[in-house]
Structure 1
């Protein structure tokens, strides 16, 4: 009966699976297939909910990250909870992080238009100086199939801004034309559009971030190492131990909730705007 129901939903183009599935797709919210990222063993396994309010259309996704709720990959020994012991650098070996995040299945190259709409509730609390990312562009490298972030949309100093990782993992802020303040995003939807060209050569690539058709941020230069790219959305905390710098232990570490809609990726701006409008 369950398989029959899922098949019926699929053929009527309203395809939805619960968090027990490895992949999710909802036409009204996204044109991309997504799967859980580093989620095995998390306390809250069903960290995504489909909601009707707040939503830009009929539905949106609610993502919840409990304090320090870390997991691990289904395969291999990578874990957000502890270092795998092969690398002394936490950023390479895992540990000191947590996430409620999804990764896109299909990888791409070249020029793309990408959108994400984000709604922050009034009671959204920052965990700074812990690094918090809400959306990512990732590269799947050729050498040993290594994966590296190329852009993370992060909360930093009360602003949601892209941080670029073009060379050796060091992040740069790009050219900031306008700030997207967290306080201005509360209790309303903010639609962000990225125009990107991922390239290996220094003068080839770029990433431009628009809000309401206004250019907020831009980066030009090398944007990858010749691999293929994919996207991530959800709440991702890294360097959680930084919380203790300004707090007495982890007792007051907050739960974070973020809503998502308009998770689209296309080859042209016109196609992207049509999807957003619909």
Structure 2
């Protein structure tokens, strides 16, 4: 006999209760859902997060709404699994984040005064240290992609005052790192290089560029992803134009491909 699905919620609370009820039904009766563990759905959560990221960059509000729902399902799923071993439940999760937000916003829920966003971030990091974090950088996940990790490291260091004072100083550092990299990897010099050292200098250069992007309020991850998408669009235009002429890219000269590439820039 089929289960009667819970009615559509008309408020945030009733909608959330509806999701919890559905999760209970699935966990107790669906063969696939009953089998899952935190480890088995972890990679799916990562995938859903990237799908949300794509929707945000596309500016697709309907897709964002759907992806948020998928992620919400995963959060409820983890809490339900944990509740089965009495580790914690969804109420603990929600109260935990509420308590943390209250504690870390003393300028809202206390008598601390702040003048700007930097004060808020500085207080946030200091409170985290009082809560038991041994390092300001302890909250940066080890598995973050390197570009995102560099941004988060720099943001957290800034939160405790370890930062450049002027963006001109950061740009000087970029130029310094560029020169050091060029010294290790001169494009006009065909002699062998110390690749490990060159790699280190290249990493320093990237780190300094990410730092400068932060100073001019550019998210380097978003910027690079938009460039990736722009390249893909233009390259696929090039492929399509070559196919229309019955050609394959590897049979074309670079000059021939450049004609279509320049066309793609105008599309």
Fold-level match, TM-score > 0.5?
Answer: no
Larger Rg: 2
Using the size of structure 2 for normalisation, the TM-score is 0.23
Q: Which has the higher helix share?
A: 2
Using the size of structure 1 for normalisation, the TM-score is 0.23
Greater relative contact order: 1 or 2 (C-alpha under 8 angstroms, separation 6 or more)?
1
Q: Which has the higher strand share?
A: 1
